[in-house]
Structure 1
Amino acid sequence: METKIRIALQKKGRLNDDSMKLLKEAGIKFNVGSGKLVASSPNFPIEVLFLRDDDIPQTVADKVADIGIVGENEMLEKGFDLNISKRLGFSRCRLSLAIPKADEYKGLDYFEGKKVATSYPVILKKYFAEQKINADIHEITGSVEIAPGIGLADGICDIVSSGSTLVANRLKEVDVVMESEALLVAAPELSAEKQALLDEIIFRINSVKAANSNKYILMNVPNDKVNDILEILPGMKSPTVLPLADDKWSSVHSVIQEKKFWEIIGQLRNKGAEGILVIPIEKMIL
């Protein structure tokens, strides 16, 4: 019988969208129908469970699923012993403290003796303890941001992405408790077969991530400027230099990081490179 690995994913929302996109880019497809909570892959030995994001840590910890993609905030709040296999870099957000917009804020002492509503009491309690703040923490599930407006709390601690929800409820962000991103987590002590499947998934994800953060470039360079150009180009190992029909020119190929793209392109042009082509990389095997 073929060994399969089971992954737990958020059933809907931004984390689901980003997770499914990543797995698709990694060549893993799922037979997903409307409303299905379990799906299999026709081209990889994997099965997916679609769950609420706050149920994922326990599902993996109990080994109902072998691995999962979950927000770092949810993993820390639940406190289960899970292995972080890969930081995925998407679904970034922050867990922040916020207070009524009209209130004056001079520091964390504002929260001393105050009521704070949150869906993350474990994280917040630890944070306040570290900061030596004695606050009254009220756990609320859903619509935390309305708590100050209805007199339930003096402030809140909640997930913030754009901050538009805070503005809509006349709140202002005053302190960041933690930064969060999506994590690929695994249950402890996977079997050798399932660990091999997880390693293959991570290998594919790394290839996708490397491709997304790099660009393939090729350009025409006068032969007497090739060495100057090679000093600029980082390359994976060494740029490729090919002769052109015009024996005074060469074609130079390389890979550059997207974050350095415009800086490097400017240097290449100044050194005499012409006809620069920039090509997206679909996959990059390191």
Structure 2
Amino acid sequence: MLRIAVQAKGRLFEETMNLLAESDIKLSPSKRTLLVQSSNFPVEVLFLRDDDIPQSVATGVADIGIVGENEYAEKKEDAEIIKRLGFSKCRLSLAMPKDIDYPGVSWFHGKKIATSYPVILGDYLKAHGVNSEIHVITGSVEVAPGIGLADAIFDIVSSGSTLVSNRLREVEVVMKSEALLIGNKNLSAEKKAILDELLFRMHAVETAEDKKYVLMNAPKDRLEDIIAVLPGMKSPTVMPLAQEGWCSLHTVLDEKCFWEIIGKLKSMGAEGILVLPIEKMIP
């Protein structure tokens, strides 16, 4: 049985549970307890505070965990990064009152900075030769300058709307963060085998993201031209149609270039273009 530590609530919790569900890890929909076992896969999920996950994995309380890179960097626990998951992206930034001119990072010298991430901030300030007073706050860090508790803040930024509402502006991005799958360095062979299967499923889900399965009817005399503009994974599937001079062509397209490619296909005579979502892709 592989035990995975997961954030108990918040955006990272929701996206983690979606990933597990898409990987066909079935968990009880009933009221959540601290520890829940999957009904169809040898995994049990341990729900913790996000800042407790790195230590729980490093000490073996959990075998693996999904945690924000910001918490992993802050805690500096002896756990290894297994996989970057690509969701829950944000950044840790220094912000200051928007009405004050900002000459550079030297502005923070001698200032009081409120943060929930004193380790990351301390390392950054030391690297830049800046001596500031770090005031540790848990909770709503962004209100600190407005109530006179600090001159500036160091906190997570996603959209930046919270900064704007508190009359702050982001001036230095210290690090970028995303969800990480981290692991204990001493997993048994049995647990490593379970982890490998879980990673295989996660990779299949990840590969299918933003991909579309496209079917179309294409004139045979334009087939080479049509294939030349398709950036599919491999050579597309081509099958003959009952109508003379036509064939059916199947391929996979990335959504970011989808409309550009579809326009070219139509100009080359492709017809009856059918677009389907892809749930998983097995390499």
TM-score by length of 1: 0.96
Among 236, 239, 257, which residue is 2:236 paired with? 239
Could you tell me which amino acid in structure 1 is paired with residue 187 of structure 2?
L
Query: In the alignment, residue 85 of structure 1 is paired with which amino acid?
Result: I
**Normalising by structure 2, what TM-score?**
0.97
The code of the aligned residue for 2:196 comes to D
Q: 2:270 aligns with which of 256, 268, 273?
A: 273
Equivalent residue for 1:259?
Answer: 256
CA–CA separation in structure 1 for the residues paired with 2:128 and 2:231: 44
Match of 2:74, SS state, is helix
**2:195 counterpart SS class:** helix
Q: 2:235 is matched by which residue type in structure 1?
A: S
Please give the alpha-carbon distance, in whole angstroms, between the structure 2 residues aligned to 1:161 and 1:30.
Answer: 29
Larger deviation, residues 27-36 vs 197-206? 27-36
Give the aligned partner of residue 68 of structure 1.
65
Q: Is the 8 A contact 1:217 1:255 kept in 2?
A: yes
Offset from partner CA, 1:136-191 (integer Å, 9 cap, x none): 11111111111111211100000111212112211111111111000111110211
Match of 2:175 among 131, 153, 178: 178
1:196 partner amino acid: A
Gap regions ≥5 residues in structure 2: none
Deviation at 1:32, TM superposition (A): 4.5
Tell me the alpha carbon deviations over residues 55-87 of structure 1, each in whole angstroms, 9 at most, x when there is no partner. 000000110000000000000000012111111
Measure how far apart 1:265 and its partner are. Answer: 1.4
Partner amino acid, structure 1, of 2:69: E
Contact 1:243 / 1:250 at 8 angstroms: preserved in 2? yes
Cα distance in structure 2, aligned partners of 1:189 and 1:262: 47
276-285 or 134-143, which moves further after superposition?
134-143
Question: What is the identity percentage for the equivalent residue pairs of Structure 1 and Structure 2?
Answer: 63
Misfit runs of 4+, over 6 Å: none
- Between the aligned partners of 1:268 and 1:63, the Cα distance in structure 2 is 54
Give 1:116 deviation, angstroms: 0.6
**How big is the shift at 1:198?**
0.7
Report the Cα distance in structure 1 between the residues aligned to 2:271 and 2:194, rounded to whole angstroms.
45
2:7 is the counterpart of 1:24: no
Task: Give the C-alpha shift of residue 102 in structure 1.
Answer: 1.4
Structure 1: runs of 5 or more not aligned: none
- Quote the residue 2:45 is aligned against: 48
State the one-letter code of the partner of 2:135: H
